[in-house]
Amino acid sequence: MATLIDDTVRVRPTDPALLPIHDKVMAGERLSREDGIALFESRDLLAIGALADAVNQRRNGDRVLFAANQHINPTNVCVLRKTCVFCSYARTPKEDGAYTLSLDEVFAEAENVRDMRVREFHIVGGLHPKLRLSYYEEMIRGLKERHPGVSIKALTAVEIAHLARIEKLSVEEVLRRLVAAGLDSMPGGGAEVFSKGVRRTIADRKLAAEEWLDVHRCAHRLGIFTNCTMLYGHVETSADRVEHILMLRELQDETGGFLTYIPLAYHPDNNELGRQLGREGTATTGFDDLKNLAVGRLLFDNVPHVKTHWIMNTIKVSQVALHFGVDDLEGTVVREKIYHEAGAHTPQGLRLEEVVGLIRGAGRRPVERDARYNVVREWP
């Protein structure tokens, strides 16, 4: 539960619907479903941002965390290629552009940037029909042997459930084997929006809400910290957003295993949904990106961090977001594929000095962290 805020919030709401919410936040009270909807429906972005900033400052001070990380996407072949209509990354096995990295190629990709002092590998990809659990075990084990100081954050709940299905194992057995190989934490992808109606429209055959939550519940029980996400900016309503967040908040009350919340902006290029909605070339607005981050900070009174993913939100909006409740910035990345396929125009990666400069430019204090949010290095 949030604690009482005694600092003065810089911007008083002009939207009367926000006044009781402002008072609740100041008093450290948990926000309700109705409060969440009022926040998403309000245009008073500066007041929402200032409130979220006050909560964040209270919780995290002026520190902004980031990881020197490298994204590795082993395959874009995915059995849900035809039904996740928002996805621009996946391919069928024989489709143009389909790829699957051998283990040696994965190791070479990591080796190529050894001098960047990466401290976290972030590994996600498609649901390949033939890649077995042993491929991922060997990958994780091999990366750990070659880079013993680097944490491994790998495989979304959707990938874990897929491996359990093709191996005819329980989710718990899959997770135990991955941990034995060296898995440190899990990313939060694949949650999209939990509403059944939205899922039917954008990701018909993907893991249902309860199944996604069950994988994370199991991970948390085994001591694996994870992240949580929401893909916004497509067909969901404000109520869908709030219900999604509250389901995550409820699991967090139960387990305490989520480290950070990351709202993910939908990108409409090169995917079926973008074509259906006539949205190609029209990504989410900076207004909505900032609002999602700030409302996330306000509703999640039990998740320690809120992260901006600069690849999707742009570097400029992400820098501003550091004053809208955000204390966690996506790191160096090195080479991003998934969102660039969907029309992201941001760079593929940033140098560590650029990430540090971005945080300092916003008047905040950069702190390099590892995958478990232990402090690695601090800047004045």
The stretch among 56-64, 79-87, 104-112, 281-289 that binds ligand SF4 (CB under 6 A) is 79-87
Position 90 contacts ligand SF4 (CB under 6 A): yes
Buried b (16+ CB within 10 A) or exposed e, 169-202: eebeebbbbbeebbbbbbbbbbbbbbbeebbebb
Select from 64, 52, 58 the least CA-distant residue to 293.
52
Footprint of ligand SF4 on residues 136-195 (CB under 6 A)? Answer: 158
Is the distance from CB of 87 to CB of 271 less than 8 angstroms? yes
The stretch among 2-10, 44-52, 87-95, 142-150 that binds ligand SF4 (CB under 6 A) is 87-95
- Hey, which residues does 113 pair with through a beta bridge? none
Nearest residue to ligand SF4, using CB?
A: 84
Nearer to ligand SF4, 158 or 186 (CB): 158
The stretch among 44-52, 82-90, 163-171, 236-244 that binds ligand SF4 (CB under 6 A) is 82-90
Footprint of ligand SF4 on residues 118-147 (CB under 6 A)? Answer: 126-127
Q: How far is the CB of 207 from ligand SF4 (least distance, A)?
A: 9
- The shares of helix, strand and coil residues in the chain, as percent rounded to the nearest 5, are 45, 15, 40
Whole-angstrom CA distances from 214 to 137, 157, 222, 359 are: 22, 9, 12, 35
Position 84 contacts ligand SF4 (CB under 6 A): yes
Nearer to ligand SF4, 49 or 233 (CB): 233
Position 342 contacts ligand SF4 (CB under 6 A): no
Total residues at interface with ligand SF4 (CB under 6 A) = 10
Nearer to ligand SF4, 147 or 244 (CB): 244
Whole-angstrom CA distances from 314 to 120, 157, 290, 308, 309 are: 22, 26, 11, 9, 8
Residues that bind ligand SF4 (CB under 6 A): 78, 80-81, 84, 87, 89-90, 126-127, 158
